[in-house]
Chains A and B, each alone.
Chain A
């Protein structure tokens, strides 16, 4: 079965430090891939998406992600985090069957904690 794995439940980084959140997928073909952010008390917001082409994708709020087929990964990065980045981050990819471009499989989420 297709799956999306976020190995880290929590990550703590200092404000101003760089960030990398991991996402691994299991797919036969190159999937669409998404990162979403959920700030406390809010709904989820799309950060960025990968469909095809350039494997380094730029998103909102200064985030980027790199698709690496050889590692089945789509890791989210930010060079310098701000306290406002404290949130939960979700990786997602379409399910393989049916209307796969709409139906998503979700990672379990990674909670980002920022140390002052």
Chain B
């Protein structure tokens, strides 16, 4: 089944403790992206990648890192999480024609 898999689905962590949210797709898509979704602010793009070793900032990249060492994986790294990064995170991959989204990761930073 074609899908984007994110892990974990839920995560509660403390301020400053590094964490990684994994994202993997099995569709051989070149393009992948991370979004965060907050009430009243809609979907905001964090980072995206057009291909292996090619990443670029989205609209809200501060406090996040990404890497794209293989086509299928696009992890999101929070080096020092802060409470304002509490959010619902989505990974997506795409060919031209629409995105396939993961099920989301609900992150709470206390």
Partner-B contacts on A (CB < 8 A):
32, 34, 36, 41-46, 49, 51, 90, 99, 101-104, 106-109
Contact = CB atoms under 8 A, between A and B. Distances in A.
Contacts, number: 43
A32 B100 CA distance: 16
A43 B102 contact: yes
20 contacts: A41-B104, A42-B104, A43-B4, A43-B102, A43-B103, A44-B92, A44-B101, A46-B98, A46-B100, A51-B97, A90-B43, A99-B50, A101-B96, A102-B31, A102-B33, A102-B94, A106-B42, A106-B43, A107-B42, A108-B42
A104 B99 contact: yes
B90 interface: yes
Which DSSP category, helix, strand, loop or mixed, fits chain A's interface?
loop
Given A106-B42, A106-B43, A44 B90 contact: yes
Interface of B: 4, 31, 33, 42-43, 45, 48, 50, 90, 92, 94, 96-104
A77 to B, nearest CB: 19
A107 B41 CA distance: 10
Contacts of A107: 42
A45 B45 CA distance: 17
Contact of B42 (A46, A101, A109): A109
A106 B99 CA distance: 12
Q: 9 closest Cβ contacts across the A-B interface?
A: A43-B101, A46-B98, A44-B101, A101-B96, A102-B31, A106-B43, A43-B103, A108-B42, A43-B104
Contact of B101 (A41, A45, A106): A45
A107 B92 CA distance: 17
Nearest to A106: B43
A99 B94 CA distance: 12
A42 B101 CA distance: 9
Given A46-B99, A103-B45, 4 more contacts: A43-B90, A102-B50, A106-B42, A107-B42
